[in-house]
A and B are shown apart, each in its own frame.
Chain A
Amino acid sequence: MSVAQIERELARLRMNEDGSLGARASVLNLIVVTSEESAPEVARVVSELSGDYPSRAILMISDPDEGEANLEIGLSAFCGVRHGMPGGAGNQVCAEQITVHAEGTPAEHLESLAGPLLIPDLPVFLWYPDGDVPGSPECDGMAALADRLILDSGAAGDCEASLRVIANLMEHDEVPAVGDLQWAALSPWRSLVADLFAPPERAGELTKIRRVEILHDTAGECQALLLAGWLSGALGWRPEPADRAAEGRVFRFDGPSGKITVELYHDVPETALRRVRLYSEELSFQVSRYGEHTDARSTVMRGEELLGERTVHLGSSGVGVLLGEELKFLKRDVTYESALERLVEMLES
């Protein structure tokens, strides 16, 4: 199937029963590099995403180890009627999905397949959902196609190793801006922690923080580490040699006005991050999951006295939602980069 045939077939898929064409609204190209096993789930996530970020999604399923060269292409269009609008063909909007299944030698040159299928003039996001990280940019032409690379430091299992690889990758100038789904999942937590110190009289407490406790499960390990890296970088805490205890991990820092420890503890599964507690000399600040884990409760205490509290929605942390968050950004996320850089420094202390 040629590129022209693919384009023609995609247009045909957008055709309504009366022969009119469903409008194609596209804001981006999304290339996904995935495996045979993950492909159905990834395709589902991408199709759901088409509602918020209409795009041309290109799913690349590659198997370079397969001896014989083979190329299969599947096409689909997801058309929906815009919410809140009266029905009718004219209001139908479609997003497109192209699945490229490459075996053998073509699988070693995925960029030659993905490149011609991109919609011109729109940004290109490259997502590796399975925790793979392109080994080096020189040998992975895919990165050259992309404006932004979306990774998931939590998908591969060994979080610490993944974060180190990402940090290493970002040192190459030719690598596009990098996003991490674990960082996206951390955003509401960072926002809630930051808000605790927003009133001017509490901003001063940031320099008096002595201890931080982060409670997380295995799935939340990357987020816990990134949170520690972020706090350390933003608050100017210099890393000192760390401890690794059986039940968790303790980072030690030298801050602008004293020593600080950040303790990471493992919690029951299925909560990712469960609780963040920051202790200053007089006050304690806490953000924790609440209710059915979909809400978060923030509190400020002086000893046993409750000084302030609120409960808000934490939002979903499903892969589709996190990916959507990452698709909002095109530029480099300097806060992520410095948090990650600081974290690697902490891990090596």
Chain B
Amino acid sequence: MIDTQLSVDVLQDDTRLPKVPEPGAMVIFGASGDLTARKLVPALYDLVARRRLPMEFVVVGVSRTQMSHDEFRKKLRKALDGQRPGGVSDDVWDSFCGNVFYLSGDTNKAETYEELKGFLKKLDGERGTQGNRAFYLASSPTLFPSIVEKLGEAGMNRGENGGWARLVLEKPFGRDLASARELNIDIRRYFEETQIYRIDHYLGKETVQNIMALRFSNSIFEPIWSQHYVDHVQITVAEELGVGARAGFYEEAGALRDIVQNHLMQVLCLTAMEPPVAFDAGDVREEKVKVLKAARRIPEDEVENFAVRGQYTRGWVWGEEVPGYREEKNIAPDSTTDTFVALKLFIDNWRWAGVPFYVRTGKRLPKRVTEIAIQFKPTPHAPFAGAGNLEPNVLVVRVQPEEGVSLKIGAKVPGSGFEIRSVNMDLLYGTAFLEEVPDAYQRLLLDLMLGDPTLFIRADETEGAWDVLDPVIRFWAESKEVSFYPAGSWGPEEAEELLMRDGRKWRRP
């Protein structure tokens, strides 16, 4: 029997029905930019079409560009049509875009926030958004502190009438440890950590989440996932593309800041972390932070022994001759920006003591691939005389493009002797579910509206990752040396030497 005064919707109490967030408004700062049209709005449109967002959900874009609501809507529609010609339903779009608004204003001025506050209040009344707001900072990172301060001063760091306020930040979260700390302090002056959602879209990828599924839902891997059995780990995040239109940003950032600090360190954490007690924001992020705490800091005077900085020169990628980095548009002809990074890291804890983690990332490598290779120790003794060189087992977790697990095992070659050959056993677990994988932003925006920060980055994670990389950043800032590699190769010679010194070599992914 139900209560005569219901305050919750009992009809939603069914695991088969999707969990729909509370009503709310998403305010996007920097709304006239690329991210809004290319990623955020398509993801929101899909969420609306798939019945994952409530009827009382509105989007308010804020940017300096002068535009009417309608001009903003038309611009977004055009971008969406460009992405999926003929794939947008007019009825669904019309219903969605009726809840999309635009305010032009200078984010440095307090008036903009007063106007925004009034507008959101009006929407609370007209559209039932209940005083809940998510502020998405898709603007230039240099504006983050000022926007946060102005939001705070306008009292928008708290939702209206008991509603919630959440703040979403896009990477980069600072340029180094000091600036990341400063940014975190600035933000936390107005927002609690529980209100802050730092986005690394890698964590929204199904395949990245599958690393945790593989490790923590299969008991056969966990016992061997340690220094007792693992010789070393290689993590590769390779891109075949060059710097493209991001020259200005990239010249300042480089691969270390653009990929290693966030994506690569996240993959490292998921690979090395202890099993969390529960898959929730507190437990998962706590375990990741422990990995970063245990990561050995590279002494500044030994950076050359642990880190390689590379830059691509002219070469051939997939049958096409491509220019070198210094030849690209808007790149300084004497730039020492890293387009390739290889690092040798150690996680100094009980599980991983003495096991090197070799990580690398680069642009203009032969192909786009993200993988984690766990190389196991060789067998302690080979009983088969004349069996040839027994190769150690390698477990490869491929994150993209073809998700799966492959295990290299030794098998007997049929015949009278006892010759052993390595066989790759491919477990294409990604192919077990061929459903269209939702875009990473869809997952993350839905989690944001549901108030689940598990797949977002906590302040101590960003600071921990910067702390590990800071000595390298400082050393490279001083040194002018950079190793070159031709586009279409797997990086500079020095990266090979980094492993050769340890008697190992990089895998060819």
Which A residues are closer than 8 A to B by beta carbons? 23, 25-27, 51-54, 80, 82-86, 90-91, 93, 187-188, 190-200, 202-204, 206-207, 231, 234-236, 256-257, 290-291, 294-295, 297-298, 300, 307-313, 329, 333, 335
Contacts and interface: CB of A to CB of B under 8 A. Distances in A.
A204 B50 CA distance: 26
Contacts of B54: 195, 198-199
Given A191-B20, A256-B2, 6 more contacts: A54-B434, A91-B431, A199-B130, A295-B89, A310-B48, A312-B50
Nearest to A94: B431
8 contacts: A54-B432, A82-B434, A190-B17, A195-B20, A199-B54, A207-B4, A256-B3, A295-B92
Interface centre among B1, B23, B51, B433 (most CB of A within 10 A): B51
B147 to A, nearest CB: 29
A236 B1 contact: yes
B48 A312 contact: yes
B16 A329 contact: yes
Interface in B27-76: 48-51, 54-56
Residue among A195, A231, A256, A297 with max Cβ neighbours from chain B (10 Å)? A195
B7 A312 contact: no
Nearest to B436: A83
A85 B368 CA distance: 12
Given A295-B89, A311-B95, A204 B5 contact: yes
Q: Which of the listed residues B56, B89, B431 has the most CB atoms from chain A within 10 Å of its own CB?
A: B431
B428 A25 contact: yes
Contact of B51 (A54, A195, A256): A195
Given A52-B434, A195-B54, A187 B17 contact: yes
Contacts of A83: 434, 436
B12 interface: yes
A325 to B, nearest CB: 9
A167 B4 CA distance: 29
A180 to B, nearest CB: 12
Contacts of A23: 426, 428, 431
- Most chain A CB atoms below 10 A, which of B17, B55, B89, B96: B55
A329 B224 CA distance: 32
B4 A257 contact: yes
A83 B428 CA distance: 13
B13 A234 contact: yes
Contacts of A51: 434
Residues of A contacting B: mostly: mixed
A207 to B, nearest CB: 5
Contacts of B428: 23, 25, 82, 91, 93
Contacts of A335: 14, 16
B430 interface: yes
Contact of A191 (B1, B6, B51, B426): B51
Contact of A188 (B51, B433, B434, B436): B51
A195 B8 contact: no
B152 interface: no
5 residue pairs, one from A and one from B, having the closest CB atoms: A311-B95, A194-B11, A236-B2, A93-B431, A197-B9
A59 to B, nearest CB: 21
A82 B402 CA distance: 9
A236 B435 CA distance: 37
A90 B426 contact: yes
Interface in B396-453: 401-402, 426, 428-436
A295 B93 CA distance: 11
Contacts of B433: 27, 52-53
Contact of B18 (A27, A54, A191): A191
Contacts of A256: 1-4
B308 to A, nearest CB: 29
Contacts of B91: 290-291, 295, 297, 311
Contacts of B7: 200, 203-204
A207 B6 contact: yes
A207 B56 CA distance: 21
A92 to B, nearest CB: 9
B22 A198 contact: yes
A10 to B, nearest CB: 17
Contacts of A202: 9
A207 B2 contact: yes
Contacts of A52: 433-435
Contacts of A93: 428, 431, 434
A308 B55 contact: yes
Contacts of B51: 188, 191-192, 195, 312-313
B159 interface: no
B474 to A, nearest CB: 41
B19 to A, nearest CB: 10
Interface string B80-103: 000000000101101110000000
B94 A311 contact: yes
B314 interface: no
B12 A198 contact: yes
B446 to A, nearest CB: 14
A82 B8 contact: no
A313 B3 contact: no
B20 A198 contact: yes
B1 A206 contact: no
B205 to A, nearest CB: 13
Contacts of A313: 49-51, 89, 92
B10 interface: yes
B128 interface: yes
B351 interface: no
B5 A194 contact: no
B127 interface: yes
Nearest to A290: B91
B399 to A, nearest CB: 13
